[in-house]
Amino acid sequence: MINNEYTKLNIHIKLGFGSAPVYQQIVEEIIRLIVSGELTSKDRLPPVRELARQLDVNPNTVAKSYNELAERKLIVSNKGGGTYFNENAPKETKEEAINDNAEKLCKKIIAEAGKNSIPLDSIIKRLSKAIQNKEAGNE
């Protein structure tokens, strides 16, 4: 059964110099929620104006985010019925979203390593060890 109430999204955006455009941050955060399973096809996204109010941004910014997600076939809008994650999104679209997020995460790690003068080979070793620990159940 589809939920008639909308889901309060756990979205964090950064405003100011050096931040990605707000609409893009919203897109990335919603994709993160989809990929993590926090957002399912039964969860209704907040209306544009409500999410804009929650994030203290212009409604046009949220509308732009929703439009991009719809173009990528990750969400569907039903006139008068709300906006939901598209559980029938093509597998390639979901994989592309995961790969995009993974690439952005890697870039952030590399940038942070550079800021902190941490050699990339050290990051790679620690990441490999963390993966091995997780696979062994030793998180």
User: Residue 64 carries which side chain, given as an amino acid letter?
Assistant: K
* Residues 6 or more apart whose Cβ sits within 8 Å of residue 49: 59, 62
CA gap 93, 111 in Å, rounded: 27
Query: How much is the CA Rg of the chain, to the nearest whole Å?
Result: 18
pLDDT tens-digit profile, the chain (139 residues):
444 577 778 888 888 777 789 999 999 899 888 878 888 878 889 999 999 999 999 999 999 999 999 998 888 888 777 888 887 776 777 777 778 878 888 888 898 889 899 999 999 999 898 888 888 887 6
Residue 27, token pair as written in the block: 């897109």
Domain boundaries, position 52: 22-85
Are 81 and 102 within one domain? Answer: no
**How many CB atoms are located within 10 Å of the residue 24 CB?**
16
Whether 130 is covered by a domain: the verdict is: yes
Are 58 and 73 within one domain? Answer: yes
In this prediction the pTM is 0.68
Residue 10 gets the label, from left (phi > 0), alpha (psi -120 to 50) or beta, of beta
Are 101 and 119 within one domain? Answer: yes
Are 47 and 78 within one domain? Answer: yes
